């Protein structure tokens, strides 16, 4: 057992605050990007429409415009989510700030680990700060191949909320692990859970956007006015659905491992692999909801909007499991670190 | 988008709905068939899955009997208005309730009904040849053409066998058609394991369920408290609490023994915020596989059980056990030994109950608290300032009379029923409460006897489990994950190639690809196959779309 290093712990908290501040600015830049781009795009549209009296497809990069997008008069982003030629200065600033934030944030996570002399996920404060870090890293990695910058406002917004919640509601000073958590299964089980949750965070944002976009596409197809101009930066509902499905499959496999490794750990610690402890119940519920989501994707009449709702419900269960269940439900898993 | 899915009854459901309107004509068999198609449909599976998720929730809202029967009893007492109703609805036994069982049994019946026909269909598909070559390959989602110059000396028949060999190497199952004809072609298919993975996944879920059921039928579990020096022998009487599986037989218990030699706790002395929090529990034990077997030294820790005689022994609790000697009114020793103090609050603030049924002429009882490091506030409230034995103290009230132990009704050892007892010592009595430090003796008023505080030992609580379904549950769970991964990430694809000879002697090759289900890498596969063919025939690997005939990849939607 390594000794506690309080100074490192304090550095870590400082880093967390700095990271939260940087992310907040990045968040503003992402939001600005959505607002500004929608304005420029509208101006371009108007000009083009005046010139040719035909609607202009915005996402020229999309080689495979799908019928749904086409019917919306091309007023969504490219379906393949590749980077387009046009420069979006605020978006670039936002991504740069996110990278900076992630570096500071990473320093915060590492100093926390050094301060406590163990993996930095032993209580709720640490789950949140480390989980938020993983979410940002996953998002940045996804940005390498795909232009998912339209998700920035939502993902970074959630990350800021997580960091603020960690510092305000769940703050816990560095400390040793209680004996129940002293196991290598903590490293395996919780890291996979955090990673899956980060992926679920991405798909949650995408599913929410999918619902909005699908509604907007319907309105546009019916000849309605485009009240949600900023959604032009977002791909059409079908491509959102397909990408979030792929990410959800990875997250689901991760969650299956979380469940299984949790059971193996429970067997080691308490002598039974499954006892319907509150935390186990909710892990199971989440698993079943996402299994339902995968089924929905293969059931006629359940793809699209309904599947998106299931993905959202699944994520709400993840949040519920983390916040309410950890704090207010009594169970064997009482390691929130709060008293 | 997903493929035309296995919702076999979709088109039928309209007919079925009509049929059900005319039920009498349908007959009993028809009705059964109708119910079966409904139950095994994808939509029902989805509905049952979501229902299962919802049904699992109440178990986290209400206390559950299997986990904590005492809390349930208390809950019913505390909520006289609806506590009984909840009980009638089996909300304290959610996971063994009729409704929860009904949902998962239906789900698994549906699963079997779903998996069996799929398995049969898939088995047939695996044994049959790839589907015949479509007339117009250009209508497939991925399509391309290649031209082999006449001087390369590769006729249409050779081109098709070359392509077949390449695809075979790539894991496709290939059938060549019409090799020597005018337009030789081939059909190829791969990714059969995707469906196999899906079947393995679903079947393994049944395996997990059966393993869990086996554990419930043939397993057992129990608890025991061991004070330092105590020995537990694995027989029914050795347990403080025992819950057998439905089919349990006591002859299965192997009479091993485990003795607690020493128990150590380490407390956090570094971090001010967590000061005094336990950070390590270590129990030294001596075990014997059988009464006659040699003794073995072992270490028992949290997260690190000891396995013995087919069971696993877990460290689940601990505390202090003050050692006392009680003398009765006749001056004889009526009780001597450690008394388990039950944890109540911070820093091992524990409650103590001592029952002395052997005391004569009258039985004696004590109830109070044990504090490892006693502090008393100005208001006279005592608390424990530290978990370690810095200033240990016993503070007790005493009683005499009938303990009620002879009536045959089981009593909680941690509670003293004072109904038929007369109080001797207490805060409000002239004699006041008893406060003892180690080595001291207190003489009870009215010559009722005395109590000495001799010392302090530690105790541990252990859980002992035997679960014969455990290994197979793990096996099936791992199998399920493997099946899941295969099913999610393998793709089922079909490739067709057709060749022919142009009038000017060039060999024309066209190919097309089709995916079953969602496959975002189909275009990549198409490009890879194109490259393989080009390399095989030493064609210039032109940058995509430079040649007019090349790479007209489209999506036909
Ligand atoms: C015990 C409850 C069940 C669970 C937890 C479950 C879970 C899953 C999961 C996670 C998948 C996606 C992975 C894969 O494609 O292999 C899946 C797919 C599938 N399940 Fe289930 N399932 C259950 C019951 C059923 C039942 C009762 C049926 C039949 C009525 C069924 C039919 C299918 C089919 C056809 C697929 C493939 C969908 C596709 O082609 O994408 N499942 N299931």
pLDDT computed for residue B24 by the predictor: 52
Lowest mean pLDDT among B22-31, B72-81, B457-466: B22-31
Among A195, A62, A27, CA closest to A127: A195
Give the gap in angstroms from C-alpha A35 to the nearest C-alpha of chain B.
31
Indicate the SS3 state at residue A306. helix
* Predicted structure pTM score: 0.80
By the CB < 8 Å criterion, does A270 face chain B? yes
Answer yes or no: do A6 and B271 touch at CB < 8 A. Answer: yes
Which residues have C-beta within 8 Å of that of residue B25, sequence separation ≥ 6? none
Distance CA B418, CA B431 (A): 18
CA distance B320 to B332: 26
In chain B, what residues touch A265 (CB-CB under 8 Å)?
A: 303
Residue A83 CA to residue B478 CA, distance in Å, equals 39
| pLDDT band at B542; cut points 50, 70, 90 | low
Are the beta carbons of B303 and A183 separated by less than 8 Å?
yes
CB B479 within 8 A of CB B207: yes
* Residue A67 pLDDT exceeds 60: no
Contact yes or no for B59/B95 (Cβ under 8 A): yes
Q: For residue B481, which residues of chain A lie inside 8 Å, CB to CB?
A: 253, 256-257, 260
Lowest model confidence (mean pLDDT) among A116-120, B66-70, B123-127: B66-70
Mean pLDDT value of segment B1-25: 44
Q: Quick one: which atom of ligand 1 is closest to the CA of B5?
A: 40
For residue range B223-243, list pLDDT tens digits in order: 899 999 989 999 888 888 888
User: Any residues with Cβ below 6 Å from ligand 1, and which?
Assistant: A 291, 294-295, 298; B 6, 40, 42, 45, 49, 107, 110-111, 114, 198, 201-202, 205, 484, 487-488, 517
A67 touches chain B (CB under 8 A): yes
Query: Which contiguous run of DSSP H or E holds residue A135?
Result: helix A124-145
Where residue A66 falls among pLDDT bands split at 50, 70, 90? very low
pLDDT higher than 60, residue B543: no
- Three-state secondary structure call for residue B297: strand
**Per-residue pLDDT tens over the stretch A79-91:** 667 777 677 788 8
User: How far is CA B259 from its chain centroid?
Assistant: 31
**Structure confidence at residue B410 as a pLDDT band (50, 70, 90):** low
Q: How far is B290 from chain A (nearest CA, A)?
A: 22
Q: Between chains, do B305 and A4 touch, taking CB under 8 Å as contact? A: no
* Predicted pLDDT of residue A254: 96
Do A276 and B95 make contact, defined as CB atoms within 8 angstroms?
yes
Question: Quick one: B15 exposed, middle or buried, by C-beta within 10 A (0-12, 13-18, 19+)?
Answer: exposed
Q: Report whether pLDDT(A157) > 80.
A: yes
Q: Are B349 and B383 in contact (CB under 8 A)?
A: yes
Instruction: Enumerate the residues of chain A whose CB falls inside 8 A of the CB of residue B466.
Output: none
List b or e across B359-384, with b for residues whose CB sees 16 or more CB atoms inside 10 angstroms. beebbbbbbbbbbbbbeeeeeeeeeb
- What pLDDT was estimated at residue B409? 67
Instruction: Please answer whether residues A195 and A48 qualify as being in contact, where contact means their C-beta atoms are separated by less than 8 angstroms.
Output: no
**Contact criterion met (CB < 8 Å) for B303 and A302:** no
Mutate to test the interface with A, among B75, B280, B302, B387 (most CBs of A within 10 A): B302
pLDDT of residue A41: 66
* ipTM over cut 0.90: no
Q: What pLDDT, on a 0 to 100 scale, did the predictor assign at position B353?
A: 92
Length of chain B (residues): 557
pLDDT reading at A168 higher than 50: yes
Write out pLDDT tens, residues A185-237. 888 898 899 899 999 999 999 999 999 999 998 888 888 787 777 787 788 88
> Please, what's the b/e burial string for B420-458 (b: 16 or more CB within 10 A of its CB; e: otherwise)?
ebebbbbeeeeeebbbbeeeeebebeeebbebbbbebbb
Which phi and psi angles does A153 have, rounded to 5°? -55, -40
Q: What angle do CA B286, B291, B297 make, to 5 degrees?
A: 15
Q: Which residues contact B26 (CB under 8 A, 6 or more apart)?
A: B19, B20, B34
Q: What is the pLDDT of residue A337?
A: 40
Instruction: State chain B's maximal CA–CA distance in angstroms.
Output: 127
**Which ligand 1 atom is the nearest neighbour of the CA of B114?**
29
**How many C-beta atoms lie closer than 10 Å to residue A256's C-beta?**
21
Nearest CA in chain A to B45: A295
Give the residue-averaged pLDDT of A241-245: 90
Q: Are A132 and A162 in contact (CB under 8 A)?
A: yes
Which pLDDT score is estimated for A298? 84
Residues A133-152: tens digit of each pLDDT: 999 999 999 898 888 888 89
Chain B positions touching A270 (Cβ under 8 A) are 314, 316, 463
Question: Which atom of ligand 1 lies nearest, measured to the CA of B118?
Answer: 35
% pLDDT > 70, chain B: 92
CA dihedral A147, A148, A150, A151 (to 10 degrees): -170
| 3-class DSSP state of B93 | coil
**pLDDT of A77 over the 90 cut:** no
Residue B215, SS3 per DSSP: helix
């Amino acid at each position: 057992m390594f000794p506690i290093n309080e100074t490192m712990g304090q550095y870590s908290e400082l880093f967390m605050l700095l990271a939260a501040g940087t992310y907040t600015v990045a968040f503003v830049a992402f939001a600005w990007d959505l607002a500004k781009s929608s304005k420029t795009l509208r101006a371009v549209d108007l000009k083009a429409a005046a010139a040719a009296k035909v609607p202009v497809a915005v996402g020229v990069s999309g080689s495979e415009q799908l019928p749904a997008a086409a019917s919306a008069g091309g007023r969504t982003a490219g379906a393949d989510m590749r980077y387009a030629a046009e420069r979006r200065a605020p978006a670039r600033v936002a991504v740069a700030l996110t990278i900076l934030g992630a570096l500071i944030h990473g320093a915060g996570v590492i100093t926390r680990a050094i301060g406590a002399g163990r993996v930095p996920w032993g209580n709720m404060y640490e789950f949140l700060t480390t989980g938020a870090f993983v979410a940002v890293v996953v998002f940045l990695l996804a940005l390498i191949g795909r232009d998912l910058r339209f998700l920035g406002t939502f993902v970074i917004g959630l990350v800021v909320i997580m960091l603020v919640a960690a510092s305000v509601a769940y703050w816990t000073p560095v400390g040793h692990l209680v004996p129940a958590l002293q196991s290598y299964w903590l490293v395996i089980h919780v890291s996979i859970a955090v990673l899956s949750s980060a992926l679920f965070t991405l798909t949650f944002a995408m599913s929410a956007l999918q619902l909005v976009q699908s509604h907007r596409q319907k309105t546009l197809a019916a000849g309605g006015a485009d009240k949600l101009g900023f959604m032009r930066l977002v791909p059409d509902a079908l491509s959102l659905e397909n990408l979030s499905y792929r990410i959800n499959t990875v997250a689901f496999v991760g969650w299956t491992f979380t469940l299984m490794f949790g059971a193996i750990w429970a067997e080691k610690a308490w002598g039974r692999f499954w006892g319907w402890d509150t935390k186990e119940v909710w892990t199971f519920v989440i698993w079943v909801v996402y299994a339902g989501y995968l089924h929905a994707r293969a059931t006629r009449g359940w793809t699209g909007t309904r599947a998106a709702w299931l993905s959202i419900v699944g994520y709400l269960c993840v949040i519920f499991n983390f916040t309410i269940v950890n704090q207010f439900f009594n169970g064997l898993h009482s390691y929130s670190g709060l008293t | 988008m997903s493929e035309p899915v296995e919702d076999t009854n979709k088109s039928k459901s309209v007919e079925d709905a009509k049929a059900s309107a005319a039920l009498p004509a349908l007959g009993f068999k028809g009705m059964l068939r109708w119910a079966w198609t409904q139950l095994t449909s994808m939509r029902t599976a989805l509905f049952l899955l979501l229902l299962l998720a919802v049904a699992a929730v109440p178990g986290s809202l209400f206390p559950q009997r299997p986990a904590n029967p005492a809390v349930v009893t208390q809950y019913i007492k505390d909520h006289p208005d609806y506590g009984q109703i909840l009980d009638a609805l089996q909300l304290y036994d959610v996971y063994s309730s009729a409704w929860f069982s009904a949902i998962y049994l239906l789900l698994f019946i549906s699963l079997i009904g779903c998996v069996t026909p799929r398995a049969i269909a898939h088995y047939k598909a695996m044994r049959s040849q790839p589907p015949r070559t479509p007339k117009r390959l250009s209508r497939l989602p991925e399509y391309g053409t290649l031209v082999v110059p006449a001087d390369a000396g590769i006729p249409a028949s050779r081109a098709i066998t070359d392509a077949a060999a390449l695809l075979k190497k790539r894991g496709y199952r290939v059938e060549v058609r019409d090799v020597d004809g005018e337009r030789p072609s081939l059909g190829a298919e791969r990714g059969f394991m995707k469906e196999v993975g899906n079947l393995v996944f679903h079947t393994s879920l049944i395996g997990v369920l059966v393993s869990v059921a086996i554990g419930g039928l043939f397993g057992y579990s129990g608890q025991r408290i061991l004070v330092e020096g105590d020995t537990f022998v694995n027989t029914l009487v050795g347990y403080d609490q025992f819950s057998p599986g439905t089919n349990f037989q006591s002859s299965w218990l192997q009479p091993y023994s485990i003795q607690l030699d020493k128990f150590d706790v380490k407390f956090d002395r570094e971090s001010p915020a967590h000061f005094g929090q336990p950070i390590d529990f270590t129990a030294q034990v001596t075990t014997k596989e059988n009464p006659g077997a040699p003794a073995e030294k072992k270490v028992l820790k949290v997260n690190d059980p000891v396995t013995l005689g087919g069971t696993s022994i877990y460290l689940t609790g601990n505390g202090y056990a003050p050692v006392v000697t009680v003398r009765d009114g006749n001056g004889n020793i009526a009780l001597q030994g450690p008394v388990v103090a039950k944890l109540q609050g911070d820093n091992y603030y524990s409650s103590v109950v001592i029952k002395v049924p052997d005391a004569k002429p009258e039985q004696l009882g004590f109830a109070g608290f044990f504090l490892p490091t006693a502090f008393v506030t100005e208001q006279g409230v005592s608390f424990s300032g530290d978990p370690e034995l810095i200033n240990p103290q016993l503070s007790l009230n005493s009683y005499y009379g009938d303990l009620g132990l002879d009536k045959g009704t089981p009593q909680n050892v941690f509670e003293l029923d004072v109904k038929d007892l007369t109080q001797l010592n207490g805060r409000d009595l002239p004699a006041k409460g008893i406060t003892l430090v180690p080595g001291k003796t207190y003489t009870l008023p009215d010559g009722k006897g005395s109590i000495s505080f001799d010392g302090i030992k530690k105790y541990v609580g252990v859980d002992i489990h035997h679960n014969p379904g455990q290994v197979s549950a793990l096996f099936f769970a791992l199998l399920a994950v493997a099946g899941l991964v295969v099913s999610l990430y393998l793709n089922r694809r079909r490739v067709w190639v057709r060749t022919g000879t142009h009038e000017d002697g060039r060999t024309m090759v066209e190919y097309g690809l089709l995916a079953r289900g969602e496959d975002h890498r189909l275009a990549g596969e198409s490009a890879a196959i194109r490259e393989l063919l080009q390399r095989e025939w030493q064609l210039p690997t032109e940058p995509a779309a430079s040649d007019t005939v090349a790479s007209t990849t489209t999506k036909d939607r």
